Structures are given as C-alpha cells and as structure tokens.
C-alpha cells in the first residue's frame, strides 16, 4: 500500500468526506480537510482532530486555495435536495467555481484529482439501468438544476482540464449513498425514514412511493473512491459507483419499519418537482476496471445506520432532559 501522501479532501467534514478522511489517515497519509461547514460538522471528524497527520481548514471552495498536495478528492457540495435548494446560486458556484479552483490547484501542483459527481447527471433517466455512456435527461431550469447542471458542468471542466492540460482526473458518479453520520435533518430518504420510524412519527412518502432508488452503504462507496483514485492514469471515468439493488420508496419504508419495530404509519406527501422516477447503476465498468462492487446489503447497512440514529436521538433526548 502506498502511504505518506498529502491528500486534500474538500467537503471533508461532511457525511462521505469524514469516512474518506478516516480511511486515508488509517492508511498512513496526511489529510487536509477543507470545509465551510454548511452541512458538515466538526463532530464528524472529532476522532481525527488530535492526529498530527490531520488538519482542518474552514474555507469555501468557491474561493481560490493555495496548498501543496499530491491528491485531491473534491467532495465539497451539499448533496441533499433541501440543502442544495436552500441557496441554489451558491450550489452552482460550489460545483463550478469549486471545480475551477480545485482543478487549478491540481494543475499547479501536479496532483491527481477526483470529482464526486452524481447519478443526478442522468436526471430522470430514459434508459435503465444507467450506464456511463448515457448523456442524461436533465431539466436545466428546475429546482434541482443548480445541483444537476452544476455537477454536469464540473464534469465538463474536469474533462477539459484532462484534454487541454493532460491533468490526471478521475470522475465518480455516485448513486444514493447512506450510513451513519448523515444528519437527522438531512432530508434525504434513508435518514428521514429512520428518524421518523424511531420517533414513531408518520413515514413521509413523496408521491405514490413507486419511484425507485439504489442505496449504497458508505464504506462500500469509500472503497470505490480509493480504488478509483489509485487506478492507472488512463482511467478517467466517468465511472458509476453505487449498489445495483433497486427498491421502491414503499419497500424502503416497510423495511425501515420492520427493522426498527416502529409503530409509524405511512403518510403520502406531494412528489417534489422533477423527482426522478427510477434509478439503478450499471456497475459493469467499476467491476471490470476497479475490481469493485458493493458488499453490504441494504438490510445490513440499515441495521448499522439505525443503531447510529438510535444512539444519536438518545443523546439528544438526554440533553433535553438535563436542560428541562
């Protein structure tokens, strides 16, 4: 295993970023975590704060950054629809200006750079499952566009830096990923359902609940990231990283209710605009090129995630009791 690199992780205090920082530190690298703490939290990386190989910098990637690094994982960007729609102009800036700044840093330092792109580049897909050669079906002017089009433009920038400057780029298209350390107020479906189930509150299904998603457990995803970064220089991606198991939101809700033993009822709410109807990655490229495929089944990953939220909500309740 190669050790001792200096690695920048933007968005490193977020859900995925914090797992990535931990993994890289455990492998003996130096990690610089850059985050503006919009959705990230210091507590996500609390275990690393005393490690002399770990450094955290409060910085917004829409502004230039001057560091000396060997590798860059560019994860900075809110991922949950409620968070990325809170300030959509900032979301586009984060993807586009953030990519320009991080690509500029990679160009100056000769660093390898990996972009955390998304299955949202496929929009509401007309082909199923989604392969990397599908160009997508994205609304350019809707409420999700700041995220989808921002990420698409970031991919364009990555490939232009590769063609124009021969920069070693890696583009991962991540499908819905879940696990411990998601925020209880994150708004994405897995954390919403689990928190609602644990509190015996209604499970909010948007629309009919027949829409599908594929859910990847966080540790599987991080393994895919690291394999992609270490792949040979000619592997640029884009490469799908996700779990090909496909579930309707009704199936997910029922599984969460079963695993939590909850008394929650199911409640339907309006479907958000442009909500994709189906989503499943074709991961043959990742299997072939990276020798990667996810190992954690949804049921298993949910059990671990439920345990995390159960403890977290317990701590919150204890604090509330202490204050009362």
For ligand UDP, give the closer residue by CB, 117 or 211: 211
- Sign of the CA dihedral with 142 first, then 144, 147, and 153 last: negative
- Find the Cα–Cα–Cα–Cα dihedral 186, 89, 167, 133, rounded to 10°: 70
Stretch that binds ligand NAD, among 48-56, 170-178, 199-207, 289-297 (CB under 6 A): 170-178
Tell me which of 15, 161, 225, 309 binds ligand NAD, using CB under 6 A: 15
**What whole-number distance in Å separates Cα of residue 213 and Cα of residue 309?**
21
For ligand UDP, give the closer residue by CB, 61 or 249: 249
Helix 88-109 to helix 145-165 angle, to the nearest 10 degrees? 20
Residue written as tokens 């955390």?
Answer: 116
Q: Tell which positions 273-302 bind ligand UDP, by CB under 6 A.
A: 275
Q: Tell which positions 48-107 bind ligand UDP, by CB under 6 A.
A: 81
**What whole-number distance in Å separates Cα of residue 75 and Cα of residue 91?**
13
What, of ligand NAD, ligand UDP, none, does residue 77 touch, CB below 5 to 8 Å by kind?
ligand NAD
What, of ligand NAD, ligand UDP, none, does residue 293 touch, CB below 5 to 8 Å by kind?
none
Q: Tell which positions 185-214 bind ligand UDP, by CB under 6 A.
A: 188-189, 192, 204-206, 211, 213
Question: Residue 261: which of 216, 320, 306, 323 has the closest Cα?
Answer: 306
147 is catalytic: yes
Determine which helix (DSSP H) or strand (DSSP E) holds 154, and give its type and residue range.
Answer: helix 145-165
For ligand UDP, give the closer residue by CB, 84 or 292: 84
Q: Residue 126 burial (CB < 10 Å; 0-12/13-18/19+)? A: exposed
Catalytic residue among 73, 84, 122, 147: 147
**Residue numbers of the site for ligand NAD (CB under 6 A)?**
10-11, 13-17, 35-40, 60-62, 75-79, 94, 98, 116, 118, 174, 176-177
């Amino acid at each position: 295993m190669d050790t001792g690199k200096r690695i920048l992780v933007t968005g490193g205090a977020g859900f995925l970023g914090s797992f990535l920082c931990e993994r890289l530190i455990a492998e003996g690298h130096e990690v610089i975590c850059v985050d503006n703490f919009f959705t990230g939290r210091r507590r996500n990386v609390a275990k690393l704060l005393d490690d002399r190989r770990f450094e955290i910098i409060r910085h917004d990637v829409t502004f230039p950054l001057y560091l000396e690094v060997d590798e860059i994982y560019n994860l900075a960007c809110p991922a949950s629809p409620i968070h990325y729609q809170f300030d959509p102009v900032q979301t586009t800036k984060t993807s586009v200006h953030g990519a320009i700044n991080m690509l500029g840093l990679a160009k100056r330092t000769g660093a390898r750079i990996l972009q955390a792109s998304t299955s949202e580049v496929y929009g509401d897909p007309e082909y199923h499952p989604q392969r990397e050669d599908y160009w997508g079906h994205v609304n350019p002017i809707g409420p999700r566009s700041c995220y989808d089009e921002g990420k698409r433009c970031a991919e364009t920038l990555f490939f232009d830096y590769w063609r124009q400057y021969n920069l070693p780029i890696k583009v991962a298209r991540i499908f819905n990923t879940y696990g411990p350390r998601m925020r209880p107020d994150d708004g994405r479906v897995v954390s919403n359902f689990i928190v609602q189930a644990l509190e015996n509150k209604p499970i909010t299904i948007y629309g009919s609940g027949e829409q599908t998603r594929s859910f990847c457990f966080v540790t599987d995803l991080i393994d895919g990231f690291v394999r992609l970064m270490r792949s040979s220089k000619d592997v640029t991606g884009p490469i799908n990283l996700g779990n090909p198991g496909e579930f309707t939101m009704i199936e997910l809700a029922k599984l969460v209710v079963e695993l939590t033993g909850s008394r929650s009822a199911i409640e339907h709410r309006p479907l958000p605009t442009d909500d994709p109807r189906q989503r499943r990655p074709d991961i043959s490229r990742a299997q072939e090129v990276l020798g990667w495929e996810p190992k954690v089944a949804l049921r298993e990953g949910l059990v671990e995630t439920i345990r995390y939220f159960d403890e977290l909500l317990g701590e919150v309740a204890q604090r509330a009791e202490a204050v009362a």
